[in-house]
Copies of this chain bind each other. A is one copy, B any other.
Amino acid sequence: MTSRDDETTARTSSEARAVARTQTLLEGENGIGTVRRTTLPGGLRVVTETLPSVRSATFGIWAHVGSRDETPTLGGATHYLEHLLFKGTRRRSALDISAAIDEVGGEMNAFTAKEYTCYYARVLDTDLPLAIDVVCDMLTGSVIGAADVDAERGVVLEEIAMTEDDPGDCVHDLFAHTMLGDTPLGRPVLGTVDTVNALGRDQIARFYRKHYDPTHLVVAAAGNVDHDDVVRQVHAAFDGAGALSRTDAVPVAPRSGIRAIRTAGKVGLLNRKTEQAHVVLGMPGIPRTDDRRWALGVLNTALGGGMSSRLFQEVREKRGLAYSVYSYTSSFADCGLFGVYAGCRPNQVHDVLKICRDELTQVAENGLSDEELRRAVGQLAGSTVLGLEDTGALMNRIGKSELCWGEQMSVDDMLERIAAVTPDEVREVARDVLGQRPSLSVIGPLKDKQAARLDEAVA
């Protein structure tokens, strides 16, 4: 992690006399951008990555709030609120918001996760001031009108129904529930039909006021952007909305802590008349900041990260049992999950599970071959660089880093960490993670006899 104090002062509007501190966190070179951060009075963080060779810019705001911040009765409030921020501000109607970005051909969207929410617009660089104005207005000036809450409830319920119609997607929700139960992290981000129906305008408005304070936000911009210009415009927008008055406020720290997940050998089955059985076989993983994440990343790549991976080769290439089969890690501040997904015909689910379980056991016991390690390191390094060519990906990287780690890491440092992963580290994390007794989630039309046999896969 690189960090250098510049001790420069960004010019801020005359209304705010408090000093904003700007740091250059990463120096750009070789097509990698320069990353700078300014913390404005009011505790608002602004990070940018400047890459003058592109013609676009992505502007986003990250909020330190996700579905894990919901009490059971507030289930789905974070995501519902995300929808409502598009429905109008004191200055703009819903149509004004969408038309502003549509008419310049921009792409505007948002996503809600368990630990954060992000709103963004990707536009031509010349339209960046417009994007900043619209997105800042949405975050600071939302009205959350009662009529909008009611109309949007139907949209959110349709989104839940749409997700239900995609078993390859909602089996991951089921797996989180199998592993974490009825807890904030175990419940679905979208909430349920019942919780969404029960949410009222006032509850959501209170949730908004509580969680969208500038100290809980990170502004991130990437592409052909000028840091000082972005800071000036963001400052003007937030200050104009009266959001920066607490000049001594400091940004909220990243989430932290350690949470042990003890679930093992559990089976979650949702009987549904689908064509395929959709399965996730997995176990507790590691938190986001765990030092073993580089080794686990390499392991995950070799096990189920590409067409040459073990699972793809064994399940699809050699036996033709699935079209889609992969492994993945999902990490939170204090815990994580590791999972293997496969979609296969119901009568082959036991064969597929046996192969997956055998590979997990095999790797837990013996680690990877030198050849697999070499290939996975190359794959992870190459895809890291290739994955940072569009300004949306750059914005995501710096925004999420700021919110979740509180620091920025250079691409070179990441490549160094990946290249430095040793066979011993992989063996150790394979034993620690894959060596645990797995649990299982299945969505599909399993007959009673087939369902009864699922326990074998997690014995």
A residues with CB within 8 A of B? 30-31, 53-56, 86-87, 94-95, 97-99, 101-108, 122-124, 127, 150-159, 161-162, 164-168, 273-276, 278, 305-309, 312-313, 316-324, 343-345, 374-375, 378-386, 389-391
Residues of chain B within 8 A (CB-CB) of A165 are 166-168, 274-276, 278, 343
A307 touches B108 (CB 8 A): yes
B154 touches A320 (CB 8 A): yes
Besides A107-B383, A165-B166, A390-B390, 15 other A-B contacts (C-beta < 8 A): A53-B53, A102-B379, A105-B379, A105-B381, A105-B385, A105-B386, A106-B383, A123-B382, A127-B382, A150-B320, A154-B319, A155-B320, A162-B168, A165-B167, A165-B168
A158 touches B55 (CB 8 A): no
Specify which of A102, A107, A306 lies most central, judged by the most chain B CB atoms within 10 Å of its CB.
A102
| Chain B proximity of A349: nearest CB distance (Å) | 12
CA distance A273 to B123 in the complex (A): 40
Task: Report the 7 A-B pairs with minimum CB-CB distance, sorted nearest first.
Answer: A105-B382, A154-B320, A98-B307, A161-B275, A105-B383, A158-B323, A99-B308
CA distance A97 to B87 in the complex (A): 49
| Chain B proximity of A163: nearest CB distance (Å) | 9
Contact of A103 among B53, B167, B379, B386 (CB under 8 A): B379
Residues of chain B within 8 A (CB-CB) of A345 are 157-158, 161
Copies in the complex: 2
Residues of chain B within 8 A (CB-CB) of A378 are 102-105
| Chain B proximity of A83: nearest CB distance (Å) | 9
B161 touches A122 (CB 8 A): no
CA distance A87 to B198 in the complex (A): 53
Residues of chain B within 8 A (CB-CB) of A317 are 87, 94-95, 151
Residues of chain B within 8 A (CB-CB) of A123 are 382, 386
CA distance A102 to B306 in the complex (A): 7
Contact of A102 among B124, B155, B307, B344 (CB under 8 A): B307
CA distance A105 to B374 in the complex (A): 12
A308 touches B102 (CB 8 A): yes
B162 touches A318 (CB 8 A): no
Contact of A386 among B95, B102, B107, B380 (CB under 8 A): B107
